[in-house]
Amino acid sequence: MNKTLSLMIAAAALVGGAVPAVADTAQAPAAAASAPALHRVQGFRSATFGMDEAQVKAAIAADFKPAGGALQAFDNPVEKTHAIALHLASLAPAPGAADITYIFGATSHRLMHVNVVWSTGPAPTSTERLEMATAGTELAGYFRDLGWRRGATTSSAAADGSYAVLFAGIDPADAGVELRLSGVEIRRANQAPTVPTGPAVLHVAYYANVGKPDTGSAVVRGTF
* Measured distance CA(48)–CA(56) in Å, rounded: 8
Would you state the pLDDT for residue 223?
Answer: 78
Contact 186, 154 (CB under 8 A): no
**Per-residue pLDDT in tens (0 to 9) along the chain, 224 residues:** 333 333 334 434 333 333 333 233 344 455 445 667 899 999 999 999 999 999 999 999 999 999 888 999 999 999 999 999 999 999 999 998 999 999 999 999 999 999 999 999 999 999 999 999 999 999 999 999 999 999 999 999 988 888 999 999 999 999 999 999 999 988 777 777 778 899 999 999 999 999 899 998 767 678 78
**Which of 189, 134, 198 shows the shortest CA–CA distance to 166?**
134
* Measured distance CA(140)–CA(146) in Å, rounded: 10
Residue by residue, what is the 3-state secondary structure of 119-134? ECCCCCCHHHHHHHHH
**Which of 184, 92, 182, 100 shows the shortest CA–CA distance to 142?**
92
* Measured distance CA(93)–CA(177) in Å, rounded: 17
Would you state the pLDDT for residue 94?
Answer: 96
Would you state the pLDDT for residue 34?
Answer: 60
First to last CA, the chain: 52
* Measured distance CA(59)–CA(64) in Å, rounded: 9
Helices 126-144 and 3-11, axial angle in degrees (round to 10): 20
pTM of structure: 0.82
Would you state the pLDDT for residue 24?
Answer: 35
* Measured distance CA(119)–CA(97) in Å, rounded: 7
Would you state the pLDDT for residue 12?
Answer: 41
Would you state the pLDDT for residue 9?
Answer: 40
